Amino acid sequence: MTDQADPGWVRSGWGHRVDSQDEAFRAITRIVSLSANRRYVWRGCTNSAFRLRSSLLRELIVAEGEPLPNEQLVRQHEVAMLREAREWGLARELGPPASDLQLLAHLQQHGLPTRLLDVTHDPMTALWFACASGDDQAGVVFAVDVTAVPTHDTVDPLGPTLRQALRESAVRGEPFLVRPTVPSARSSAQQGLHLSGVVPTVESPGGIDGLPLRLGPAPGRDKLGVLFGESARRAGRPTRLPFCALVVPARLKGTIRSHLTALNRTRAVLFPDADGFRDAYRGEHVQLHPLPDVVPAQDDTEAGSQSR
């Protein structure tokens, strides 16, 4: 994967760097309460230098500074992967007839490069992901206003196909959400879903690649500073916030992780499956010592034996 061009979230006017754990929690609350009846999805990343882009787009980018892969190239790779996955037999385990949208979400959940971005309804989950590791680098929490964005279930006989969803995204110039119809244990724990859309033909706002987000002018540092400040609501804050990147300094990550345990946001809760335990074990997040006292099987006379 090529090094990404620094998105400069704060410099772009779409981001704000929090200075304390209190400000991190306050900023999330202020976004939620800025305007009534708005709906947000959230995404956390342990490195604030990473741009908001899908895993498939990241894989197709050869060099930063070059034109981004267009929709045709992304679609070609997407269709090729879906065809190969079907030939591999992956669609059969989902039950007939598995749609492209369902299969794409399945591939995303298992780490394959797709155009889908993992997001969550829960900002505390996103904050945990921003602080989960990389204590030597700043993390970031993304908030995306999806109030008017359509949501497609992975299994819906009456819903649009992936191809139709992409066409609608191109015509309307907006993304769409993909919601698992039968969420896995991990998806349920993380309140997870996916954000996606057609690759836009026009340049996206700084730091956001391959998503058709219509953001308008950036609110700027001053307005975001007013919005997230300690004082009560006052004039000068933005009237709308379609997108925001909250940068979390490295020095705050450990403290915020500790606070999030009070909200039941821990690695064991968010990754309740065997793969989660495996990754935690390999990442040295699971401590197996001190080793318990046991009786070797050769000396375990109390256990007895079962004769056949």
Report whether pLDDT(96) > 80. no
252-274: average pLDDT: 96
Q: What is the pLDDT of residue 65?
A: 77
CA atoms within 13 A on the CB side of 305: 7
What pLDDT does 1 receive? 47
Percentage of the chain lying above the pLDDT 70 cut: 98
The DSSP string of 174-203 is: --EEEE-SS--HHHHHHTEEEEE-PPPSSP
The angle subtended at Cα 112 by Cα 61 and Cα 207, nearest 5°, is 40
CB within 8 A of 191, min separation 6: which ones?
A: 120, 121, 122, 125
Specify the pLDDT at position 209: 94
pLDDT band at residue 90, thresholds of 50, 70 and 90?
Answer: very high
Residue 40 vs residue 305, higher pLDDT: 40
d(CA 253, CA 300): 47
More confident residue, 304 or 7: 7
Please give the pLDDT value at position 2.
53
Q: Where is 39: in which H helix or E strand?
A: none
Sheet with strand 40-45: strands edge to edge: 15-17, 243-248, 139-145, 40-45, 117-120, 192-196, 176-179, 151-153
DSSP 8-state secondary structure symbol assigned to residue 121: S
Q: What is the DSSP string of 216-228?
A: -S--HHHHHHHHH
Range with the poorest average pLDDT among 18-22, 42-46, 229-233, 300-304? 229-233
- What is the rounded average pLDDT of the residues 102-108? 95
> What integer is the mean pLDDT of 169-186?
95
Q: What is the mean pLDDT of the chain?
A: 92
Burial-class residue 136 by CB neighbours within 10 Å (0-12, 13-18, 19+): exposed
What integer pLDDT is reported at residue 47 of this predicted model?
A: 96
Write out 57-114 in H/E/C secondary structure. Answer: HHHHCCCCCCCCCCHHHHHHHHHHHHHHHHHHCCCHHHCCCCCHHHHHHHHHHCCCCC
The pLDDT value given to residue 290: 86
> H/E element holding 52?
none
Phi, psi of 179 (to 5 degrees): -110, 130
pLDDT of residue 16: 97
pLDDT tens by residue, 106-147: 999 999 999 999 999 999 999 999 999 999 999 999 999 999
Q: Across the chain, how many H-helices and E-strands are there?
A: 12, 8
Helix, strand, coil % over all residues of the chain, rounded to 5: 40, 15, 45
Is the pLDDT assigned to residue 73 strictly greater than 50? yes
Helices 21-33 and 253-260: crossing angle in degrees, nearest 10, is 60
Q: Report the largest interatomic distance among the alpha carbons of the chain, rounded to a whole angstrom.
A: 82
Q: Which residues pair with 16 in a beta bridge?
A: 246
Looking at residue 234, its pLDDT comes to 72
Higher-confidence residue of 153 and 290: namely 153
- Is 63 or 209 the better-scoring residue by pLDDT? 209
Q: Find the mean pLDDT for residues 185-205.
A: 93
Does pLDDT of 308 surpass 70?
A: no
